[in-house]
C-alpha cells in the first residue's frame, strides 16, 4: 500500500506555524533553562501556544485541537520536537499526549469531560503507571503484580510502580492493575483513573536518572489499600492490555516524531559548526570523514521519517500497526542516538561543553532505546511475526 509522504494542507500550515513558534518563542526559553522546565514555564509556553492556535493539535476540535491524524501529527510533532521544550509547549509531550489519545478513544463521556477536557487545555497534567520494579511488569507486561480487588462501591489497589513519568504534580494517574489471573497470565489487567489526592497513592521517591527534560521526572509510587470508585475503571474490566494497545502503538510513534525533531536540530548545529570551523587549511565541512558523518546523519533522519510515516499509514488505516510501529520505534531510537552522537563528534570539545546543548540531547535520547519497549523486545517481536508469517505461508 502506497504511503503518502506529504502532510495535508491543514497540517502543512500548522507545521510551518509550529516551526516558527519554536524558533521565536521556545528556543530562547530552552537555552535560558537548558531544556528543563518548571511549572511556571510550562504554563507560560502553553499560554503562548494557545494564542498561536497550536495547542494540543492532535485532539478533536470539541476538545480544542485540530483532530490531526497520525500522518499529519508526524509533521507537526517533528517541528515541535526541534526543541526539548517544544512538545511541552504544544501540550503534546509524553505521557499526556498518549493519555489524551487513549482517553479520547476509550473513556466514557463523563470521564472525557472530567479528565480529557482539562488535560487537553493544559490546565492539568497526568501520568501512566504500568512499569513495576522486578519481578513485576516491564518489557513483559504480563508479569503485572499490582492487584485491584473488588470492594463495596469500587476497587482497592495494592502494589508498587516505578518510572512513572510526570507523576509529581499530575492531577491523576492511569494505573494498570491485575483484576484476575496471576503474574505471567497474558490477560486479566484493568486500567484505573486514580486522583493524585487519593491517600492510598503514595509517592515513594523521585528516581535519579540520566535524562532531565521529561516534565515532572520519573517517580516510584506505592499503592497502599488505594480505594477508587466503580467509575474509576477506564475501559472494560480485564481488558486493560487490549486497551493499552490503543495507546502504545501511537504513543511510541509520536515519541519517534518528537525525538526526530531533536535529531534534525543536532544535525543543524553540527552543520553550522562544520561550515564555520577551519581545520588543516580547509573547512571541516569539506573534509571527507566529516562529510561522511553529515551524510550518515541525513540518511538516518530520512529513513526514520519514512518509517514513521509507514507506521502512521498503518495506524490511520485502522490497523494495529504492531509490526510497523515496532520497526519505526527500534530504528528511530537508535538512529536519533547515532545522529546526536555524530553531531557531538563533529563539534569536538564544543559538543561536550554546556555551550552547545548536544551533551544534554545525548542524555535525553538515550533512555528512548529502553522506554516504549527496549530495542531487544521489539526485535524479538518483529522476528516472531516474520517467522509466523513464513510458517503460515509455507503451511498452505
Ligand atoms: C526515562 C524513562 C521513562 C519511563 N516512563 C514510564 C512511564 O511513564 N510509565 C511506565 O509505566 N513506564 C515507564 N518507563 C518504563 C519503561 O516502559 C520500561 O523501562 C520498559 O518497559 C522496560 O522494562 P524494564 O525497565 O523493567 O526492563 P526489563 O524488562 O527488566 O528488561 C531489561 C532488558 O532486557 C532486555 N530484553 C527485553 N526483552 C528482551 C527479549 N525479548 N530478548 C532479549 N532481551 C530482552 C532489554 O535489553 C532490556 O533493556 C520509563 C522508563 C524510562 C527509562
Residue with grid cell 530552552, as numbered in its chain: 30
Which carries the bigger pLDDT value, residue 348 or residue 10? 348
Position 361 confidence tier, pLDDT thresholds 50, 70, 90: very high
Position 248 confidence tier, pLDDT thresholds 50, 70, 90: confident
Asked if residue 247 has pLDDT above 90, the reply is no
Which carries the bigger pLDDT value, residue 7 or residue 123? 123
Q: Helices 288-316 and 240-276: crossing angle, nearest 10°?
A: 150
Backbone angles phi, psi at 265, to 5 degrees: -65, -45
pLDDT one-digit tens code per residue, 230-240? 999 999 999 99
Cα dihedral across residues 144, 240, 76, 218: positive or negative: negative
Q: How far is the CA of 235 from the centre of ligand 1 (A)?
A: 24
Q: How far is the CA of 13 from the centre of ligand 1 (A)?
A: 37
Residues pairing with 148 in the sheet: 157
Q: Quick check: 126 and 166 in contact, CB under 8 A? A: yes
392 CB-side CA count, 13 A: 6
304 CB-side CA count, 13 A: 32
Burial of 392 (0-12, 13-18, 19+ CB in 10 A): exposed
Ligand 1 pocket: which of 377, 378, 382 to mutate (most atoms <8 Å of CB)? 377
- Atom 7 (ligand 1): residue with closest C-alpha? 164
For the record, the C-alpha cell of 363 comes out as 542524555
Task: Name residues contacting ligand 1 (CB within 6 A).
Answer: 95, 128-131, 138-139, 163-165, 209, 211, 218, 367, 370-371, 374, 376-377, 380
Give 233's contacts (C-beta < 8 A, 6+ positions apart).
155, 190, 191, 192, 193
Q: How far is the CA of 278 from the centre of ligand 1 (A)?
A: 43
Which region holds residue 86: left if phi is over 0, alpha if psi is between -120 and 50, else beta? alpha
Ligand 1 pocket: which of 334, 337, 370, 383 to mutate (most atoms <8 Å of CB)? 370
Which region holds residue 12: left if phi is over 0, alpha if psi is between -120 and 50, else beta? alpha
- Atom 9 (ligand 1): residue with closest C-alpha? 164
pLDDT one-digit tens code per residue, 16-68? 999 999 999 999 999 999 889 999 999 999 999 999 999 999 999 999 999 99
- Atom 37 (ligand 1): residue with closest C-alpha? 377
Ligand 1 pocket: which of 98, 102, 139, 212 to mutate (most atoms <8 Å of CB)? 139
pLDDT for residue 1: 66
- Atom 32 (ligand 1): residue with closest C-alpha? 139
Strand, helix or coil for residue 38 = coil
Amino acid at each position: 500500500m502506497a504511503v503518502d509522504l506529504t502532510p495535508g494542507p491543514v497540517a502543512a500550515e500548522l507545521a510551518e506555524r509550529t516551526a516558527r513558534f519554536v524558533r521565536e518563542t521556545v528556543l530562547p526559553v530552552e537555552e535560558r533553562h537548558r531544556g528543563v522546565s518548571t511549572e511556571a514555564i510550562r504554563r507560560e509556553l502553553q499560554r503562548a501556544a494557545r494564542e498561536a492556535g497550536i495547542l494540543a493539535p492532535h485532539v478533536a476540535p470539541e476538545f480544542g485541537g485540530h483532530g490531526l491524524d497520525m500522518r499529519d501529527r508526524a509533521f507537526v510533532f517533528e517541528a515541535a520536537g526541534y526543541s526539548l521544550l517544544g512538545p511541552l509547549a504544544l501540550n503534546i509531550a509524553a505521557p499526556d499526549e498518549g493519555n489524551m489519545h487513549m482517553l479520547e478513544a476509550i473513556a466514557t463521556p463523563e470521564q472525557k469531560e472530567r479528565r480529557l477536557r482539562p488535560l487537553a487545555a493544559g490546565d492539568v497534567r497526568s501520568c501512566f503507571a504500568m512499569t513495576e520494579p522486578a519481578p513485576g511488569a516491564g518489557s513483559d507486561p504480563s508479569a503485572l503484580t499490582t492487584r485491584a480487588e473488588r470492594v463495596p462501591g469500587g476497587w482497592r489497589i495494592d502494589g508498587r510502580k516505578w518510572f512513572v513519568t510526570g507523576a509529581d504534580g499530575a492531577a491523576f494517574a492511569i494505573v494498570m492493575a491485575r483484576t484476575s489471573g496471576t503474574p505471567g497470565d497474558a490477560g486479566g489487567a484493568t486500567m484505573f483513573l486514580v486522583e493524585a489526592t487519593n491517600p492510598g497513592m503514595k509517592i515513594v521517591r523521585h528516581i535519579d536518572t540520566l535524562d532531565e527534560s521529561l516534565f515532572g521526572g520519573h517517580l516510584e509510587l506505592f499503592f497502599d489499600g488505594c480505594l477508587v470508585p466503580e467509575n474509576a475503571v477506564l475501559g472494560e474490566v480485564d481488558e486493560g492490555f487490549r486497551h493499552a494497545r490503543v495507546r502504545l502503538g501511537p504513543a511510541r510513534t509520536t515519541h519517534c516524531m518528537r525525538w526526530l525533531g531533536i535529531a534534525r536540530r543536532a544535525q543543524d548545529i553540527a552543520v553550522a559548526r562544520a561550515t564555520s570551523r577551519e581545520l588543516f587549511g580547509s573547512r571541516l565541512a569539506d573534509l571527507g570523514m566529516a562529510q561522511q558523518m553529515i551524510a550518515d546523519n541525513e540518511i538516518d533522519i530520512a529513513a526514520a521519517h519514512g518509517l514513521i510515516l509507514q507506521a502512521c499509514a498503518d495506524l490511520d488505516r485502522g490497523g494495529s500497526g504492531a509490526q510497523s510501529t515496532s520497526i519505526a520505534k527500534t530504528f528511530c531510537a537508535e538512529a536519533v542516538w547515532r545522529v546526536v552522537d555524530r553531531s557531538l563528534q563533529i563539534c569536538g570539545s564544543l559538543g561536550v561543553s554546556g555551550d552547545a546543548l548536544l551533551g544534554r540531547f545525548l542524555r535525553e535520547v538515550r533512555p528512548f532505546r529502553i522506554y516504549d519497549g527496549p530495542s531487544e523486545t521489539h526485535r524479538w517481536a518483529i522476528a516472531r511475526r516474520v517467522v509466523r508469517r513464513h510458517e503460515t505461508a509455507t503451511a498452505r
